[in-house]
């Protein structure tokens, strides 16, 4: 995939979340964000929606925010307060939002927007509930969207031994998305996002930037990295994995990444493997046809330089 010569249009589907907040900053700078839709995930829906509104105000975005699904398709909602704090964005003094929510019909917003104009990317970085509902209600979106670039999955898990949180939180929704015919379908899984860590040096680089957003994000990074460092016992983690911006950068700066074409399905029923992304890496001729661009490597130095550029642009 070549570098984009124009700002790609995208809908951000998110559950802010520290890394979601950075992804919103990154998308606002490098893409044409048509809207932000929230989903329950890192925190309950009321908190993720609140946090999205906070980010819109901080960035002074003229972008609608719509809330979406408050729970997975089948299972009860399960959040990640143990990573992001009870607010979803613990660690910084955040202003109260001053602009109202545009609607509580986030799925309808996705459908209507993608029917009104072609070539809109869907960029989900939380549980895939809203995207699955939109595809189920409007199968024609398969041929209308530019593609889906998602954060989730991997060859190992973080919520269980086999499952990454976003896929684990709603495996049935993820199975619908991976089973759809949307192409390209890009997966930024843990294998690549764990290469992109917000280390102490990177926190200080952020703090050195001018402006309120940089100061807030540096405080958020301190909290977020602290949870990672406390919860890991090996030397591979030097700070929080900054997962979600990679789903944005995979669209805006695809040359940052190495990728492999793979067939990926989602396990929904396994006692120990529900939410696992099963990535077919076989070389056998009879393997299933690839349905996913699996990101395998990122130029993390260049990627963080782009994130810093986006943050500095908010000053």
Alpha helices in the chain (DSSP H): 18-30, 45-59, 81-84, 106-116, 129-137, 165-169, 171-178, 190-193, 200-207, 212-231, 245-252, 300-312
**Which of 194, 243, 253, 300 does the annotation list as catalytic?**
243
84 is catalytic: no
* Phi, psi torsion values for 295, nearest 5 degrees: -75, 130
Q: How far is residue 159's CA from residue 154's CA, in Å, rounded to a whole number? A: 12
Q: Which token pair is 264?
A: 């990926």
SS (H, E, C) 179-202: CCCCCCEEEECHHHHCCCEEEHHH
Neighbours of 96 (CB within 10 A): 8
* Residue numbers annotated as active site: 243
């Amino acid at each position: 995939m070549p570098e984009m010569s124009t700002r790609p249009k995208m809908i951000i589907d998110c559950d802010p979340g520290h890394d979601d907040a950075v992804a919103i900053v990154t998308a606002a700078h490098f893409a044409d964000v048509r809207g932000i839709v929230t989903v329950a995930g890192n925190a309950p829906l009321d908190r993720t929606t609140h946090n999205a509104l906070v980010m819109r105000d901080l960035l002074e975005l003229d972008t609608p925010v719509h809330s979406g699904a408050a729970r997975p398709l089948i299972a009860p909602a399960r959040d990640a307060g143990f990573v992001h704090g009870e607010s979803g964005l613990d660690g910084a003094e955040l202003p109260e939002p001053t602009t109202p929510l545009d609607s509580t019909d986030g799925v309808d917003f996705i459908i209507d927007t993608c029917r009104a104009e072609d070539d809109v990317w869907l960029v989900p970085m939380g549980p895939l509930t809203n995207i699955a509902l939109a595809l189920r209600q409007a199968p024609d979106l398969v041929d209308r969207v530019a593609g889906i670039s998602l954060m989730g999955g991997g060859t190992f898990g973080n919520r269980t031994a086999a499952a990454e949180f976003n896929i684990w939180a709603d495996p049935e929704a993820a199975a619908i998305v991976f089973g759809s015919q949307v192409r390209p379908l890009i997966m930024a899984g843990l294998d690549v996002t764990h290469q992109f860590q917000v280390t102490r040096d990177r926190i200080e680089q952020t703090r050195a930037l001018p402006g309120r957003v940089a100061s807030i994000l540096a405080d958020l990074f301190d909290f977020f990295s602290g949870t990672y460092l406390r919860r890991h016992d090996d030397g591979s983690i030097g700070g929080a994995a900054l997962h979600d911006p990679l789903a944005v950068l995979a669209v805006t700066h695809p040359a940052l990444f190495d990728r492999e074409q793979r067939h990926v399905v989602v396990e929904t029923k396994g006692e120990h493997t529900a939410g696992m992304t099963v990535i077919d890496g076989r070389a056998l001729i009879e393997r299933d046809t690839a349905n996913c661009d699996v990101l395998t490597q990122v130029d993390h130095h260049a990627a963080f330089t782009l994130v810093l550029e986006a943050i500095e642009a908010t000053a």
